[in-house]
Amino acid sequence: MVPSSSNPGDPSSSSTSPSGSENLSAFHRFLRKAQLVSGIGVTAEERTKDLEELNIRRCEKMKKELIDTSPLLVFMLKHLRLSGCQVPEQNIVCVPCASPFTSAASTNSASNPHPSETQLHAGAYLPFPHGAIKLCAGHFFSKQHVESTIAHELVHMFDECRFKVDWQNLRHHACSEIRANNLSGDCKYTREMRRGIISFTKQHQACVRRRAITSVAANPACPSPAHAERAVNEVWDSCFADTRPFDEIY
């Protein structure tokens, strides 16, 4: 028999008990979190990494809830499946993005047909190699913002699946951007007000057109903003009226 190294009567033995270890571990976690929040005793890089991990956890939680409960996303995912395009949950990924504000697409427009304007860069559709959606963790101001961002990118995915979009073709790109902005909720009146844009006549159409032109103009295949506007104008009537897979604008 191996003798016990601890003496039940020794007060110090309680520090090595399971409950004592758990309390100590909890205290260390609390202390570490306090350091990361206050910045005392940690580097800027450590604080940035902790914030990124927190934002990713929050983004993933909202994403999972929305995929299961949002009528808009459930509907889109169903129709993607019916079109022969499965969208596994792991293909919708929350990641840290370089900057919350950007005036252009991410580095490769072929993998990002949805560059942002000068508002929060919230996500992108990545058609290569297998089709995925990138969500910029920490760039969302509400759960509804996450919902509309996923819906926007799912419209791109639906177009890719059904119509074999060539993202280097400005007319193709323009049509998908018109549809994505029109159907996702991106151009709701409340969203435009948050952007500081207030209009009382044809607000929705103006928003869809503006955002589509901005996106196409950032495509490296587009020679100039004038070419982007021309591409949007050429396909506007047919693409704005095309609400598939919806019966009407959401």
CA distance 184 to 215: 15
Q: What is the pLDDT of residues 11-31, one digit of tens each?
A: 444 444 556 566 667 756 655
CA distance 161 to 216: 20
Q: Is residue 106 part of a domain?
A: yes
| Catalytic (active site) residue 89 | no
Q: Is residue 20 part of a domain?
A: no
Q: Is residue 196 part of a domain?
A: yes
Q: Is residue 98 part of a domain?
A: yes
Q: Is residue 83 part of a domain?
A: yes
How would you list the strands of the sheet with 132-137, edge to edge?
92-96, 132-137, 123-126
Backbone angles phi, psi at 126, to 5 degrees: -115, 95
Distances (CA, A) of 162 to 158, 165, 172, 185, 213: 6, 8, 13, 21, 23
Q: Is residue 223 part of a domain?
A: yes
Give the pLDDT mean for 66-93: 94
Q: Which of the residues 117, 147, 153, 160 is marked catalytic?
A: 153
Q: What is the pLDDT of residues 83-129, one digit of tens each?
A: 998 899 999 999 998 754 433 333 333 334 444 344 457 889 988 76
Residue 34 has pLDDT above 90, yes or no: no
Count CB-CB contacts under 10 A for residue 29: 10
Question: Over the chain, what is the mean pLDDT?
Answer: 80
Q: Is residue 22 part of a domain?
A: no
Residue 246 has pLDDT above 50, yes or no: yes
Q: Is residue 51 part of a domain?
A: yes
Higher pLDDT, 213 or 47: 213
Domain range enclosing 130: 46-241
What's the domain count of the chain? 1
